[in-house]
Amino acid sequence: MEIDEILDRFYPLPTHSKKALKAHISEVRRPKGDILMRVGRVEKNLYFIKSGIVRAYSDSHSGDVSFWFGKEGDIVISMKGYVSGQEGYEHIETLEACDLYQMRTQNLEALFETDIHVANWGRKLIGYEMIKTEERLIAMQFKTAQQRYLDLIATTPDLLQRVQLCHIASYLGITQVSLSRIRAEIR
């Protein structure tokens, strides 16, 4: 996915504002299994996914827990680090080789200060991310594991081909055995 298409997903920018934003964005390639962001760090970069898939996870006593997947067009950012300047609570790992657009968060903040259009774009971007988080929270609180799995199939069916089932099960808040049962029931 090209950077113009990604930027336009959140809020249409005038040409001069988009040009100013793109002047601070560079392309990077990361191999499968690379850790883009680590627990306990204040990250200095954010990324947009051109191609590939990533997952965010936290460590727990029984293994890691996946709580987010990002794919083409998504932003990769540690919200805690970005919004409050505090150390992040997640690892973000590439599950495929990824082509990414990278930007320093301090450059984005500087643009927010000088360009109202970029500031509005950023407000819309964060709003979009908040809605995704809210939907995830509601699903975990009020939907069964089977409903969450069916939602995943309906909204992002390609994840099932691109992400290991152990990560899908973790994301759904269930064991791999439970996921296997749900999949068998649906077939």
Query: What are the Cα distances from residue 40, in Å, to 51, 59, 77, 81, 143?
Result: 27, 12, 14, 9, 31
Q: Which domain holds residue 64?
A: 3-142
Query: Does residue 149 belong to any structural domain of this protein?
Result: no
Query: Does residue 36 belong to any structural domain of this protein?
Result: yes
* Residues 21-60: tens digit of each pLDDT: 999 999 999 999 999 999 999 999 999 999 999 999 998 8
Domain of residue 33, CATH code: 2.60.120.10
Query: Does residue 126 belong to any structural domain of this protein?
Result: yes
Please count the structural domains in the chain. Answer: 1
Provide the pairing of β-strand 25-30 with 75-76: unpaired
Report the distance separating Cα 70 and Cα 31, nearest Å.
15
Query: Does residue 161 belong to any structural domain of this protein?
Result: no
DSSP string, 64-92: EEEEEEE-TT-EE--HHHHHH-PPPS-EE
Task: State the chain's mean pLDDT as an integer.
Answer: 94
Average pLDDT over residues 128-133: 92
Q: What is the pLDDT of residue 80?
A: 87
Query: Does residue 58 belong to any structural domain of this protein?
Result: yes
Query: Does residue 99 belong to any structural domain of this protein?
Result: yes
Query: Does residue 154 belong to any structural domain of this protein?
Result: no
* Residues 80-103: tens digit of each pLDDT: 888 888 898 899 999 999 999 999
Query: Does residue 170 belong to any structural domain of this protein?
Result: no
